[in-house]
Amino acid sequence: MKETVESNNLSENELFKIIGEVALLFHKGISLENTILVTDTKIIKNYFLGSEAVVKQSDMLEKPIPTNGNIPIVLQTGAIKTSIIPKEIYGVAFKSTTLPIKNHENSIIGTITIMLSLKSQTALQETAGNISVSSEQISATTEELASSAMMLSGNVSEVLDQTQEILKLIEKTNGILDFVNSVAKNSRLLGLNAAIEAARAGEVGRGFAVVADEIRKMAENSSNSVKDTKELISAINDKVNGLMKKVEELTDVANTQAAATQEITATIQSFAENIQIMQEISEII
């Protein structure tokens, strides 16, 4: 009760002096760049500017209070008022909150305004915006990469299918060559038998002997051709098998790349969500 009586006995000048000292403590104690302004109902009683402000400490003392902004509203309504002060007034943008100062009779005798610099907030918002733009660009690029990876995977799978079809065709070709080789062997036997019968026929079978000899030669040539063709097809088969192995490896790489790009896309989306949260926080600070 004693403290209340003593406070009630304080003059307005004494009260504003105490408020000014407390305001200075707040000004020094708040880690953010800040300006604190103390007024009565007519003039500026005291203020403490941050290092970013372009006006001097003595420029505003005992000067009339601003006719616009939060102070006139708070003096009239007694309600706490918060707004953004543009940088044109004090050289830097501030988030301003004005509170009424009341005496022991609950009458409004002045205001105290705390203005927190928005420089860090602006920088944070700009950084978040730049990161957001970069994130969108990366996301678009990643989506293109993912699309290309999926297309590559599809093309590789198609090449793999076609390679398998080639191997099947080679197997069929081997079957045909086996048949031709069998015909050549039989032709060679027929030519040999024909030559034997021609020899038995003597002079009458001489023409038939010539035909039998040609049949044997044709059979031998066919057999040699089949052998050479089989060697060639075998070499082709080895190359195709090697190609098929490479295509399978490429398929694995393409599938891995597609999965990786999907993971990257998911990470970027999460990153974009975090940026949005950071932007919202920067507006609150």
pLDDT, one tens digit per residue, over 214-231 is 766 776 777 777 777 777
Same structural domain for residues 154 and 98? no
Same structural domain for residues 41 and 68? yes
DSSP state of 43: B
- Find residue 245's DSSP bridge partners: none
Same structural domain for residues 187 and 86? no
Contact 132, 279 (CB under 8 A): yes
Same structural domain for residues 106 and 173? no
CATH number for the domain that contains residue 83: 3.30.450.20
| CB count in 10 Å sphere of residue 34 | 20
Q: What is the pLDDT of residue 6?
A: 40
Q: What is the pLDDT of residue 267?
A: 73
Residue 96 C-beta-side C-alpha neighbours within 13 Å: 23
Same structural domain for residues 155 and 244? yes
Same structural domain for residues 74 and 159? no
CA distances to 44, 72, 76, 115, 253 from 57, in Å: 12, 22, 27, 15, 68
- State how far the Cα of 214 lies from the Cα of 202, in Å rounded to an integer: 18
Q: Kindly give, in sequence order, each residue whose CB lies less than 8 Å from that of residue 164, ignoring residues fewer than 6 positions away.
A: 244
- State how far the Cα of 143 lies from the Cα of 151, in Å rounded to an integer: 12
Q: What is the pLDDT of residue 110?
A: 94
CATH number for the domain that contains residue 233: 1.10.287.950
Instruction: Write down which residue in 117, 138, 157 finishes a domain.
Output: 117
Instruction: Write down which residue in 83, 117, 151 finishes a domain.
Output: 117
Q: Which residue has the tokens 């002060």?
A: 85
Same structural domain for residues 132 and 112? no
Same structural domain for residues 270 and 129? yes
Ranges assigned E (strand) in the chain: 34-40, 44-48, 81-85, 94-102, 108-117
The CA angle 76-78-81, to the nearest 5 degrees, is 95
Q: Is the dihedral of CA 231, 233, 238, 243 positive or negative?
A: positive
Structure tokens at 43: 């003039």
Same structural domain for residues 146 and 76? no
41: containing domain: 2-117
Instruction: Write down which residue in 102, 117, 132 finishes a domain.
Output: 117
Domain count of the chain?
2
Q: What is the pLDDT of residue 3?
A: 36
Structure tokens at 110: 């002045």
Q: Could you report the per-residue pLDDT of 123-169, keeping only the tens digit for each? A: 666 676 777 676 677 767 777 776 776 777 677 777 777 777 777 77
Same structural domain for residues 101 and 145? no
Closest CA to 71 of 47, 106, 50: 47
- State how far the Cα of 103 lies from the Cα of 10, in Å rounded to an integer: 9
Same structural domain for residues 94 and 65? yes
Residue 50 C-beta-side C-alpha neighbours within 13 Å: 23
Q: The pTM is what?
A: 0.47
Same structural domain for residues 149 and 235? yes
- State how far the Cα of 232 lies from the Cα of 125, in Å rounded to an integer: 70
- State how far the Cα of 110 lies from the Cα of 18, in Å rounded to an integer: 13
Low-confidence spans in the chain with pLDDT less than 70: 1-9, 52-58, 89-92, 120-126, 128, 132, 134-135, 139, 146, 149, 153, 177, 179, 181, 183-185, 187-192, 194-195, 197-198, 201-212, 215-216, 219, 272, 274-285
